[in-house]
Structure 1
């Protein structure tokens, strides 16, 4: 909604400046200068507000944990259990019961570097790497 309001206001101001240019070129020059100064000041205030404002994480659990993985990386906010990761990898046999989930009060970030693996919880029962197998 705000984008449309800005677009309409910008269109009306531009049309007004064009009309002013046709009707009275001397006045249009001064009007455009004042309008440019006001728009520049508004853009500066918006930029400072955007830089100062720290967004609240939008995690579904209400926590502040961020989970990020670089190119080729794998990251999980909780446990990684029973996965086959890599070419021709496979998990066979009965799975081990999953370990306890990470404590809900933990807000630490989970980040996997390039081609890395990171978990906020336990990593169990996985076949990791090419041609790997978990039995």
Structure 2
């Protein structure tokens, strides 16, 4: 799962801060072991509190709004798929006849793209190929 630009910046900032704090604790351990013990205890408490706050914020966040979350919704009579819709006959007397078309390249947009079909609509997060849609339609 790929992270967005802002998420990457946050990850790098956290990694650099963690590296600097770790190096500082190692230097403190060499210079004054008693001070390093107290400093590590305070640092651990601060990191634990920050992790607790982050976990609460993550739990309170609405589902599907983060990176990688995808909502797939369809209105009354609608059809929605998070991926590809291929080789379907939708509607009375609809037929899909013949060999399937080779699939094309995956669409851009990534995993976080929401998919929503309105009333009687069709929507897909991927490709829509080889379908017969509508009453009596036929795909050859």
Q: Which runs of 5+ in 1 are unaligned?
A: 1-48
2:76 to 49, 71, 79: 71
Q: Name the structure 2 match of 1:108.
A: 113
Flag the structure with larger Rg.
Answer: 1
Alpha-carbon distance, 1:103 to partner: 4.9
Residue-pair matches, total? 81
1:82 matches 2:82: no
Q: Name the structure 2 match of 1:99.
A: 104
- Output aligned runs, 1:6-85, within 5 Å: 53-57=60-64, 63-85=68-90
Q: Which runs of 5+ in 2 are unaligned?
A: 1-55
Distance 1:82 1:111 in 2: 20
Distance 1:111 1:131 in 2: 25
Residue by residue over 1:5-62, the C-alpha shift from the partner in whole angstroms, topping out at 9 and shown as x without a partner, is xxxxxxxxxxxxxxxxxxxxxxxxxxxxxxxxxxxxxxxxxxxx9xx922444xxxx8
Distance 1:102 1:65 in 2: 15
Alpha-carbon distance, 1:101 to partner: 3.3
**Secondary structure at 2:80 match in 1:** strand
TM-score by length of 1: 0.53
Distance 1:78 1:103 in 2: 12
Distance 2:96 2:135 in 1: 12
1:123 to 121, 124, 128: 128
Distance 1:110 1:55 in 2: 17
Distance 2:74 2:108 in 1: 21
Q: Is contact 1:72–1:114 with CA below 8 Å preserved after alignment? A: yes
Q: Name the structure 2 match of 1:27.
A: none
